Amino acid sequence: MIEVLLAMVVLVVGLLGVFGTLTGASNSIGAAERAAVMAQAGQQALQAAEAVPYADLADSSAPVQTSATSTTNPTYYLSGCTAGACTAYQWNPSSTSSAESLAIDTTAGKVAPLSTAVVPVPSTSGCTATATANCQITVSVYVFVTNSTDSICSQSGVTCASTTSYKRVTVAVKNTGSGGPLNPTYLSTFVSNNVGGLTDPLDGATSSTSLTNCLDGTTTVACTN
């Protein structure tokens, strides 16, 4: 009898462990799934920003700070905020001196500073960016475009044509649903004003007989090959 009781206790403890592990694994996999969605949403937002013509590469409205206390909120690193709307962004969380002026153009700017990405619960409808009740995953996508000055511009003898060497695009994706990840996912790159024109040798180089063409081995071909 004692043996049976002991065996039952052992089994119950074991099953509790199994249950706990399965629950933990489920949560972990759920968080990983959300992290994957965050990464994908971030990459999509970054690629969309990179595709915008340089002149239009700006936030279409001033980003709004929604938290000045939580470092897991990407807007925590905004500064120069008046009535919520901000003028600068600290791209390096560990360095307060890294704040750069935001590129905001309410007329030509093509980058929305905040958007929402969702993943619906399977076999359900009604999950949208504005109605997230039936959504399995909901994330907020922040895109901050800032004016960046290259460090060489401060070197002696170097003259830079503009105070903005290139634009920095920082994408922060935060899970706004339940569960992890608690920290946002960040992606950041630069976009320069390399638009070609008269001084671009590749401008108009569309055939092998163009003034500019390309050499593939010993064969002259269009540079579009």
Partner 1 sequence: MHKLTRPRQLGAGVRALRLGAGVRRAADDETGFIMIVAISILTALLVLIVAVASSAQHVNATTTRAEASGAALASANAGAQVALFRLDTTGTLTGATGSMGNGATYDYAVTTLSSSSSPCTGLWVQNSTQSVQQDCITSVGSVNGVNAQVQARVAGYTPTTSLYPINGVFAVDGFYAAGSPTGAFSLGSNGAMNLTNATLPDINGDLFYQAGQLTQSQNSNQQCSSPCTLVQDSAAITVPSVSPSAYASAATTNNDGAISWPSNLSYSSSTNSVTSNGSNNATVYLPAGTYYFCSLALGNATTIQATGSPVKIYIDSSSDSSTSCPSGSGNLTGDDVTVTAFGGTASNLQLFLYGQPGCTGTNCPADLPQNTATFTADVFAPYSYENDNPLTVTGAMVIGYVYENTLNVTYQGPAASGSSTGGTNADFFPAREAICTPASTPTTGSC
Q: In the bound complex, what is the minimum distance in angstroms from residue 198's beta carbon to partner 1?
A: 5
Q: Is 32 in the site for partner 1 (CB under 8 A)?
A: yes
> Which SS3 state, helix, strand or coil, does residue 5 take?
helix
Task: Verify binding: residue 92, partner 1, rule CB under 8 A.
Answer: yes
Residues 61 and 104: beta-carbon distance below 8 Å: yes
What is the C-alpha to C-alpha distance for residues 1 and 57, in angstroms, rounded to an integer? 77
Instruction: List Cα–Cα distances, 60 to 100, 108, 131, 178, 187, in angstroms.
Output: 17, 7, 23, 29, 19
CA of 81: how far to CAs of 75, 86, 138, 167, in Å?
Answer: 10, 4, 27, 20
Under the binding rule (CB under 8 A), the answer on residue 182 touching partner 1 is no
State the number of binding residues for partner 1 (CB under 8 A): 72
- CA–CA gap between residue 31 and residue 174 (Å, rounded): 12
The binder of partner 1 chosen from 61, 66, 101, 188 (CB under 8 A): 188
Question: Closer CB to partner 1, residue 61 or residue 181?
Answer: 181
Q: Between residue 117 and residue 156, which ones bind partner 1 under the rule CB under 8 A? A: 150, 152-153
- Residue 83 binds partner 1, judged by CB under 8 A: no
24 binds partner 1 per the rule CB under 8 A = yes
- Name which of 21 and 124 has its Cβ closer to partner 1: 21
Residue 162, Ramachandran bin (φ over 0: left; ψ between -120 and 50: alpha; else beta): beta
70 or 190: whose CB is closer to partner 1? 190
Give the binding range for partner 1 (CB under 8 A) out of 25-33, 80-88, 112-120, 139-147.
25-33
